Amino acid sequence: MTAAYTQLEARFKRLAVIRDSAGVLEWDLQTLMPPGGAQARTEQLATLSVMAHELLTDPRTGELLERAETDALNAWQQANLRGMTREWRHASSVPASLVEARAKANTECEFAWRKARPANDFKGLLPLLQKVLDLARETAAIKGEALGLSPYDALIDQYEPGARQAEITPLFDHLAAVLPELITEVIDKQARRPAILELSGPFPAATQMALARRMMQAVGFDFDHGRLDTSAHPFCSGVPDDIRMTTRWNETDFLPGLMGVLHETGHAMYERGLPEDWRMQPVGAALGMGLHESQSLIVEMQASRSREFITWLAPRAAEAFNGSGPAWSAENFIRIYGKVERSLIRVDADEVTYPCHIVLRYRLEQALIGGDLKLADLPGAWADGMKALVGIVPPGDKDGCLQDIHWPGGGWGYFPSYTLGAMTAAQLFDAARRARPEIPTALGRGDFVPLMGWLRENVHSKGCLLPAHELLIAATGKPLDPQIFLRHLRTRYLDS
C-alpha cells in the first residue's frame, strides 16, 4: 500500500473516535443526563458533528482517495477504500453549516419529544419537527443531486447502502397486500382456542433487569464489554468494545422489556463480532442497518420466540417472579409470545403485524420528503394508514405519529431497514438451521453457541468486505427472498 492509503486509514480512525465519542454522549443524553444539560449537550453534539464533517470533507481527503485508487491493495483494503469513498461522497455534498444546523435541530427536537409524547402534544412539537423535516429535505435534495439519486433514495442510502425505492416499494406493496388478510386469519385461529392465562404481577423493574441480564448471558453477551440501562426508547449504541444497551420496563408486564433486551442484544452481538483487525475503519463496521436489524431479529424473533427457547425460558421466568400454576407453564408462555393482535405501538408489535407498521412509516416518509404530505396533516394520514394496514386507529398522537424517536431525532430514511432486516433474519436463520441442525435443540437448553458460531463465521466477521446482497448470497445461497419470511410467518402462526 502507498502513503495515500496509510494516511486515509489514520484519518478514518480519527473520524471513528470522534463519532464514537458523540455516541457515548448520545447514550448519556438518553439515560443519565439531567434535563438542565440539554443546551450544553446540543452544543457538544453539534461541535462533534462539525468536526467529523470537516475531517471527512477536507480537500486533502478527496485527494488521498483519488491517489489511493491506483494502489495495489488486498481485498479487505479495497473494500475499506470503497467504504471511505462512499462516506466521503455522502459528506462532501453537504455544507458544514447544514450539518451543524441539523445536529442542533435534531437534538433540540428529540429532547422536546420526550415531553411531547407523554403529553400527547403533536401541535406543541410541530414547529421543531417541521424544522427537522425541512433540514432533512434540504439535505436529501443536495445529496440526491450529488449522488444521482432521488432525494428519498439519498436518505435511504445513508442507512441501507445500495437500497432503492424501485426495489423496496414493490416488495412492501406485496407485504401490504398479503399481511392484512394473514393477520385476520391468525387472529381468527387464535380466537378459537382457549383463552390465554394472564401472568399476574407486579413485576419489579429490578427483577426484570436481573432476568434480562441472565438472558443476555445465555445469548453470549460479555458484560466486560457493555452494559444495560433504562431509557424512554430501547436502543443499542457504543462501540464493539463498549456496547451500551437500553430498554424500558413495564411493571405490569415484563415481556415487552425482556424481548426488547433480547432484540438489542442481537445488535450488540453483531457489533462484538465485527472483525477486530479492522476496528475504526469503514470495512470493519456494520454492513447497513438492514443487516443490523436482521441480527437483532434473529435473536428476538427467530430464536427467542421459538418453541424450544420459550420452553427453556418459562421456568426461569417463574423462578424470577415467584410464579406458579398453569399460567407459568411453557405452553402458556408459547401462546403468550405467539399472540397476534392489532396493536398500536411498533416496538411492542408481534412479528406478523410489525411489517405493516414499517410499510406505513415508509409511505409517510416518502410523502413527507417528497412534499406530497404536509407535516400538520401527519396525524390524520397516520390514522388512515393504521386502519388500512393494521385495522386499528390510535386514540391520540402519543400512540400514533409521536411514538417513535426516529423523526424527531432526524432519522429519516431509516424505517425501511426494519422490515428488510426481518426478511433477512428469516433467510439467515433458515440457512443456519440447515447448516447446523443442532441449533433448535441447543436453544431448548438456553444455548446460543451453535447459532452464534454460524453467524460469526458467515455474517459478523465479514464486516463490509462484501456488499449486503453478495454477503446474503454467500451465506444462504440465494438473494433476498421474501417468500422465506412469509413461509416462516405461516408456519409459526397458522400451521403450528
Residues noted as catalytic: 264
Closest CA to 339 of 197, 487, 215, 212: 197
148 HSE (CA, 13 A, CB side): 1
Query: Is 79:161 a contact under the CB 8 Å cutoff?
Result: no
Which H helix or E strand runs over 394?
A: none
For cell 402519543, the residue is 398
Residue 430, C-alpha cell as written in the block = 433458515
Q: Could you tell me the CA-to-CA distances from 159 to 95, 177, 283, 396, 411 in Å, in that order? A: 20, 26, 15, 30, 9
Cβ neighbours of residue 439 closer than 8 Å, sequence gap 6 or more: 432, 433, 450, 451, 454
Which residues are within 8 A (CB) of 59 and not within 5 positions of it... i.e. 6 or more apart? none
DSSP H or E run through 239: strand 235-239
- Locate 339 and state its grid cell: 399472540
Q: What's the CA gap between 313 and 393, in Å, rounded? A: 34
Q: What is the C-alpha to C-alpha distance for residues 434 and 317, in angstroms, rounded to an integer?
A: 30
DSSP H helices in 243-325: 255-273, 288-297, 307-321
